[in-house]
A and B are shown apart, each in its own frame.
Chain A
Amino acid sequence: MKAIDQSTILLKNEDDTRALGLRIAEALEPGDVVALIGDLGTGKTALTKYIASGLGITEEINSPTFTIVKEYRSGRLPLYHFDVYRLGSGEELLDIGAEEMLDGDGACVIEWADIVADVLPEDALAIHLEYGENEGERIAEFL
């Protein structure tokens, strides 16, 4: 993946989140992993939606918490969208067959990635999201 040369970005509103998502999408190649880390409500699913839209995916992206992973194939690359909120460790991620998705034909976006950090590739793009000072603001930090 082409590097994003900024370490911290202030996302003032949803438009900024969209711009970041589109930029990430543009850089994605098969086998890339985007690891999203951040509390409830910090915009992980929202950012994923814009990454998906940047990939040209036309299906509705909704929370995969229930099934852990959903895959979308209508874009430039297949997208595997994980939400590992309910998992206890990286091993459990591999137990559900994630290995072939992590190293596969598409890109992976993983919400709550800190839980499964031990099995993610070293070159994963890790982004930490947190609340900004003002309402609606978020801070995205590239780790």
Chain B
Amino acid sequence: MKDGRFLTLGIETSCDETAASVVADGRFVMSNVISSQIDIHTAYGGVVPEIASRKHLERINDVIGKALEDACVSAKDIDLIGVTCGPGLVGALLIGVAAAKAMAYACDIPLVGVNHMHGHIAANYLEHKELEPPFMALIVSGGHTEIVNVPDYNKCEKLGGTRDDAAGEAFDKVARVIGLGYPGGPKIDRAAKEGDPDSIAFKRVYLEQGSLDFSFSGLKTQALNYLNQERQAGREIDVNNVAASFQEAVVEVIADKAVMAAERYGQKQIVMAGGVASNSRLRALMEEKAGRKGIKVLKPSPVLCTDNGAMIASAAYYAYRSGVKPDLELDAVPGLEF
């Protein structure tokens, strides 16, 4: 506690960012330190688990130290520690969990484990100070494509998810085959701005009538078939057109389903979360489609869309306030579900 404010330290190491942050009263970001490994992983076309764990280990103490320093607080001011306990890469998660446990034990601070996905949703509480549940959440990232009904703080009900590849994964894979490289999302977004989204007729995959699930694997195959065809015919491939058409096929389905879910559950607002929520075309299309139905779309700024400690701190704060018991024995759970 400092100046009457409840301080939460959030720690996040589930994938390729080593991150820590101090958040006051669950809403106000006092510091947000993110040490990214993207440059390291670019060379490999994706996250490399072994390298990721080693880098987390090298950086975690400095990152936590910097988060306290930037917030002008010391460990004794911290009222609660929140740490991502899953889902994620097991070796990576363990580093954050071990660091959090050690600090919680040494400084006698309550510790709660946070579901990474709840963290992504909570990023919106930091961005939009007035936001309160209920709302519909759309989480789109490298590992997830999910529609989640949020009736209350710390209550999440998953309505649909991907049956094969996540949206961000499809972006990464297609970016790789058209030579754009890693990370695929931002590169396709940029290339798509120079291309024509109607130039190639990629199928929109809606699955069964009314389904809130997604499937992007077939679209990836369509893109590969198209590239093979064109190469065999000796035609030059317009990377920007492929990027634009592919992106449109992905984001149109996502936006339609998110709006359908909000309507079905009578939600007046949709919050976007996860790395792919930064995609400019998805953001625009969501506004357009939801706007037509009188549904408001809330988006966190790009820095809060990527993995960060602040969103974990906010989720931990609301979990703790909702009565989740602190647990010094908590474990990393790589396959943690909602």
Residues of A participating in the B interface, judged by any CB pair closer than 8 Å: 39-41, 45-46, 60, 62-63, 65-71, 85-88, 92, 95-97, 131, 135
Contact = CB atoms under 8 A, between A and B. Distances in A.
Nearest to B168: A66
17 contacts: A40-B177, A40-B224, A46-B217, A62-B161, A62-B162, A63-B162, A65-B46, A65-B165, A65-B166, A66-B87, A66-B143, A67-B89, A67-B335, A70-B335, A86-B48, A87-B49, A96-B91
Given A40-B173, A45-B164, A67-B87, A92 B48 contact: yes
Interface string B159-172: 00111111001000
Nearest to B221: A41
Contact of B217 (A63, A70, A88): A63
Contacts, number: 81
Contacts of B87: 66-67
Contact of B47 (A70, A86, A95): A86
A68 B49 contact: yes
Interface residues of B, number: 33
Contacts of B15: 66
Nearest to B222: A41
A65 B173 CA distance: 11
Contact of A86 (B46, B90, B144, B228): B46
Nearest to A65: B169
A40 B223 CA distance: 11
A60 B338 CA distance: 14
B92 to A, nearest CB: 10
B142 A62 contact: no
B17 to A, nearest CB: 14
Nearest to B48: A86
Interface in B133-155: 142-144
Contacts of A71: 335
A41 B334 contact: no
B225 interface: yes
Contact of A96 (B47, B49, B228): B49
B39 interface: no
A85 B48 contact: no
Contacts of B49: 68, 86-87, 92, 95-96
A38 B162 CA distance: 22
Nearest to B91: A96
A64 to B, nearest CB: 9
Given A40-B177, A62-B162, A62-B163, A67 B88 contact: yes
Given A45-B217, A66-B144, A86-B44, 19 more contacts: A39-B224, A40-B173, A41-B217, A41-B224, A63-B165, A66-B166, A66-B169, A67-B88, A67-B89, A67-B143, A67-B334, A86-B48, A87-B50, A88-B44, A88-B48, A95-B49, A96-B50, A96-B90, A135-B225
Contacts of A65: 46, 143, 165-166, 169
B257 interface: no
A63 B164 contact: yes
A85 B228 CA distance: 21
Max chain B CB contacts within 10 Å: which of A63, A70, A96? A63
A68 B15 CA distance: 12
Interface string B204-234: 0000000000000100110011001000000
B161 A60 contact: yes
Nearest to B89: A67
